Amino acid sequence: MNSVTIIGGGVSGLFSAYYLQKAGCHVSIIEQGSFADGCSFGNAGMIVPSHIVPLAQPGMIAKGLRWMLRSTSPFYVKPRLSWDLARWGMLFWKHATEAHVQRSIPVLRDISLLSKQLFQDLAASGEVDFGWHERGLMMLYKNADTEHEMAEEARLANRAGITANLLTAQAVQDLEPQVRVDVRGAVYYPGDAHINPNLLIKNLIAHLRKNGVQIFENEEVVGFEKRQDQLATLHTSRQSLPLEELVVAAGAWSPVLTQKLGLSLPLQGGKGYSFMLKNVTQNIQIPAIMLEARATATPMGADLRFAGTLEVAGTDLSINMNRVRGIVQGIQQFYPEIEVQIPEKEQVWSGLRPCSPDGLPYIGRVKKYQNLTLATGHGMMGISLGPATGRLIADVLTAQPHSMDIKAFEPMRFG
């Protein structure tokens, strides 16, 4: 039986543990924070096979530069003297091409569809309850320029085998009988789904513990001992653990760990914010992305979660209320009858999406060490791609045929 140590108790780490444990491995998870607060996972909870175009795409840099001039805009790069940030920016610029988009579409589609199937299987198994709903996703827009962009994305999606329907304003309203939606139109992806991330994390952890996975919370990794091309020991703030196989799934903190191992991993934390409206009597039915506002709305039972922004800020989790104000202003433009106040700062969740410069995750073995595997870099699709990532990590570590081709996710592709 393989013994596997996973650094990181986020979605990628937990699903890696889930599938490794199912394959008969002895699994331990080291998490620097705590799961006790119950609200560590405040993301939008969207499962999005529709998202087949990577963040690195033509026009994104010009758009980003325009957004950076507004304090409430959805995108911001925190200015700082950093070689890592400069390198990441250059690699992003290099990959913001049509050729890269066309190469990325089939692999993002395949990993997303694999992940959705695994979510469906997990929901059907009854092992873990996570509020699974398949109601699709609406990409709402208010102006003609965005409509033109979305029509092109819908064409790409349909050509790739992902169903996308263009909706008029009235067709959008027909799908949302309880709330008024003020839009020009939308692209509707009926194959998308959504979950409750808090429920997923809580119940997945309980399932793992019940099945013998050791979870160490509030332990920071402080160093490693190496033996030739093997990692022999992991030192945390509390203990030392012998290593047979090591998986780094530490999200935005992964480069800090790989640096300790003499590896350079281009990855930046993209900070996002969310907050919840409780007990919404007239709730939306279908999750939505409000395109011009770059904000999202996801129904979660009787509640409604709003999320948004991408703030490239390293590992800084502080909350910029101007960005939150921007989300609220965006909501009011799209759903004018939903009463949304600017939340108190303590009601706002902030989290870091680990963004690779080409918009593709890092999944696979690292050649420098025989027993090191990475599972990070999923950007804004960490929840969505969690099960597929876990399954692929289990395939790699147990020498099973891979569930899909993972060459595009090679962890050391940037050297």
pLDDT tens per residue, range 133-161: 999 999 999 999 999 999 999 999 999 99
Residue with tokens 């290099």: 94
Mean pLDDT along residues 380-387 = 94
Greater confidence (124 vs 311) lies with: 124
Nearest-angstrom CA–CA distance, 142 and 414: 38
SS3 83: helix
Burial class of residue 23 (count of CB atoms within 10 Å of its CB; 0-12, 13-18, 19+): middle
Nearest-angstrom CA–CA distance, 331 and 362: 33
Maximum alpha-carbon separation in the chain: 65
pLDDT tens per residue, range 228-267: 999 999 999 999 999 999 999 999 999 999 999 999 999 9
Report the relative pairing of strands 295-300 and 288-290 from DSSP bridges: antiparallel
Average confidence score pLDDT of the chain? 92
pLDDT computed for residue 326 by the predictor: 87
pLDDT tens per residue, range 22-80: 999 999 999 999 886 554 578 899 999 999 988 777 766 555 555 544 545 455 666 67
Percent of the chain with pLDDT over 70: 93
Nearest-angstrom CA–CA distance, 363 and 370: 15
pLDDT tens per residue, range 327-368: 999 899 999 999 999 999 999 999 899 999 999 999 999 999
pLDDT computed for residue 320 by the predictor: 87
Nearest-angstrom CA–CA distance, 167 and 268: 35
Mean pLDDT along residues 125-138 = 97
Element (H, E) at 3: strand 3-7
Residue 318, pLDDT > 80, answer yes
pLDDT computed for residue 275 by the predictor: 94
118 — phi, psi (to 5°)? -70, -35
Domain 3-409 has CATH 3.50.50.60: yes
- A 10 A CB-CB count for 316 gives 16
pLDDT computed for residue 61 by the predictor: 58
pLDDT tens per residue, range 231-240: 999 999 999 9
Which DSSP symbol is given to 379? Answer: G
Residue 119, pLDDT > 90, answer yes
pLDDT computed for residue 57 by the predictor: 73
Is the distance from CB of 7 to CB of 13 less than 8 angstroms? Answer: yes
pLDDT computed for residue 70 by the predictor: 54
pLDDT computed for residue 317 by the predictor: 86
The pLDDT confidence band at residue 309, using thresholds 50, 70 and 90, is confident
